[in-house]
Amino acid sequence: MAENVAAALKRGLEAVAISDHGFNNPSKFALTREKAAKQAEEIALEREKHPDIKIYQAIEADILGLGGETDMLPEDFDNFDFVIAGFHRFAKPHSVKDFFEFYVPGYFSAVVKPSADRIARNTRAFNAMIKRYPVAIVAHLNDMVICDPKEVAKCAADYGTYLEINLKHIAIFERALDGILATDVKLIADTDAHTPEKVGDFSALEPLVKRIPELKDKILNARPGEIIFRK
């Protein structure tokens, strides 16, 4: 964590978010509630050392089923500055039914084109999540679980939720871009950095913004100033 904060300072960033995978992922590479409490203590120390940068504690939670369920309990939301949520293939699903009707079709969506009915059900699931939980950012929309991006973006805009531009999944974002641009939703660009060297490296986004200049106006962290996250 200290290395990531140092990297953010070196890049001249105003803020950095420390965000690990959610509770229903295998604990080896994800947060547990105990780990999150310890992480909060470490972040508090980093904030004392570096008052000139905003350090957020976040979590990348998981959508677990067609009802929009996540792995967040109501009391968990108070323990993070904001919550990101998206589909992650290794997270334990909400039910056996959700595994077969939500996860398995997602696993094969790259080779078996989802039907219109499947896309509509997935869209309802993501919109239900946005309506049910104070999710600040939807992570890498249409990674495996395919939705109607315009409908999810409209719902997100209505509830003050942002959509993520994940630079590891930028091709997926580009395919959804027409629908997203047709709405008022705001965006957060995210390097998804797993090493300090990648913190704040947005070079992969530059060609897309150059090609579609109006995109920059939607990206909240492309300009100075504090971002207000849904809570």
Domains and CATH numbers, the chain: 2-222 (3.20.20.140)
Mean per-residue pLDDT of the chain: 96
What are the residues whose beta carbons fall under 8 Å from the beta carbon of 230, sequence distance 6 or more? 82, 134, 135, 136, 159, 160, 161, 162
Give the pLDDT of residue 170.
93
Looking up tokens 């290395």 gives 3
- Give per-residue pLDDT as tens, 71-99: 999 999 999 999 999 999 999 999 999 99
- Kindly provide the residue ranges of all beta strands, DSSP E only, lying in the chain, ordered along the sequence: 15-21, 54-62, 82-86, 137-138, 162-166, 187-190
- Give per-residue pLDDT as tens, 49-63: 999 999 999 999 999
Element (H, E) at 171: helix 170-181
Return the SS3 of 214: helix
pLDDT confidence bin for 192, thresholds 50/70/90? confident
- The mean pLDDT value for 3-26 works out to 94
Separation CA 179–CA 181 (nearest Å) = 6
